[in-house]
Amino acid sequence: MPLIWSAIEGIPWPGAGIELNELVKIWKETPERGEELDITMASDEVISRIKQLQSGGGNMNKKQIKQQEPELMRSALYYFPSWEHAVKNAGLL
């Protein structure tokens, strides 16, 4: 079982939250206070692009999208709490 980080206790704890390596990645990618995020797509553009990828038979895997369409992933996570929420809002799940 992967090591999980407990946001409440601030200690590793199985089943408590998100994987530690994911937390570190998010922390490293988070802009400093006052720094603006580079969001170039509006929420309707995000939904439209997700629908376009799905209808074209594109892979909707989060890791693949992050590598192949970083602007889409960054924008989706700005407007939605997760990639899965963005896909659901596009009516695909």
If you ran DSSP here, which 8-state letter would residue 12 be given? B
Say what the pLDDT of residue 59 is: 79
Say what the pLDDT of residue 52 is: 92
For residue 93, pLDDT beyond 70: no
Query: pLDDT tens digits, residue range 28-42?
Result: 666 554 455 678 899
Distances (CA, A) of 31 to 40, 51, 74, 79, 80: 16, 29, 12, 16, 17
Per-range mean pLDDT, top range of 1-10, 22-31, 37-46 = 37-46
Query: pLDDT tens digits, residue range 51-92?
Result: 999 888 877 889 999 999 999 999 999 999 999 999 999 986
Show me where the domains of the chain are located.
1-30, 43-89
Say what the pLDDT of residue 33 is: 47
Say what the pLDDT of residue 38 is: 76
Element (H, E) at 18: strand 18-19
Could you tell me how many residues make up the chain? 93
